[in-house]
Amino acid sequence: MLPLDDLLVLDFSTLLPGPLATLMLAEAGARVVKLERPGGEDMRGFPPKFGETSAPFAVLNGGKSSVAIDLKAPGALERLTPLVRQADILVEQFRPGVMARLGFGYEALAALNPRLVYCSISGYGQDGPRAQEAGHDINYQALGGLLGQSLQRGQEPPLPPPLVADIGGGTMPAVINILLALRRRDRTGKGCHLDIAMVDAMPSFAWYGLAQGHATGTFPQGGEGLLTGASPRYGLYATSDGWFLAVGALEPKFWQAFCDDIGLAQPLRDDGRDPQATRAAVAGIIAGQSAEHWRARLEPLDCCCTVVRRLEEARADPHLSERGLFAVQAREPGGRSIPSTPLPLAPLFRRGAEAIRSVADSGEDTAQIRD
């Protein structure tokens, strides 16, 4: 028995935030039906191809059923009404107002099914001055103040690889609030409309800088925060072979162990006196040896120092393999399998890793889904 194995989810979402949220619900046992436009949602066309489908689509949508339907066509609501009446959860990711114009807004569907938990994921929320603006992850990070914490004026910035807004601002809040809404429904018998705005979560990731600014009246500028460049104890240092060592030796015991091992001069260990001088000295020492040298020296010391792993190295890391992060397989319609997206769900609450999650073609009939 899985926590959500008695629930039906209708997934109108595309691309990343909504599909990853419904993948988590599916993995916890829910039956997820994707409602896709004829020809399939946009992610089905994303490279690279994997057999008969897209690899990015496959790793986000294994274990779901699919219905191809033109929501603008006459009779679309009538065709989907039986599924709406059965559904427990609906996830949509259109711009605010689109679902209502199509006849699938919360009020219309709640009239058919008052127990429906209706989750809308958008960039800026269902209301507010920016509600109708287009955007992507980098825009939400920019507006929410998250990017500004590490950027310094006049310096060439790296592009942050984590899709923090999509996953941390869209997927995770959607799943959390859906589960809370289900708990509330258990008590009241009523569903609700959840307004998940990806930009809303960005200040949550900037919590430390906000606390500093609200307490002192001075907000840290780019590179001035404890975790964004001000401390030599927390940062990236280049090695002699052009790679990087990640140092997170914030606590005194870790900092002392790190300094002892690299042989940092005693006066520089008090990094509060001249942080930039300490950083420069550390950088010079780390730059004198290869990444492999520091991997062998510092990682066994347990002083919060780790050589940065490339993605293929992380994929093969024995620790991650033993944790089973890549054990679940998504199978495309032609029969080939690929590791699915790793999900932060406790094994107790998810389907067994040995199962293979098939990726459906778009176009299945709603009558078959109901059966």
| Residues forming the active site | 136, 166
Amino acid at 1: M
In angstroms, rounded to a whole number, what is the distance separating the alpha carbons of residues 85 and 196?
23
> In degrees rounded to 5, what are phi and psi of residue 12?
-95, 5
Q: What is the token pair recorded at 357?
A: 């999650």
Q: How far apart, in whole angstroms, are the C-alpha atoms of residue 230 and residue 223?
A: 6
d(CA 141, CA 167): 12
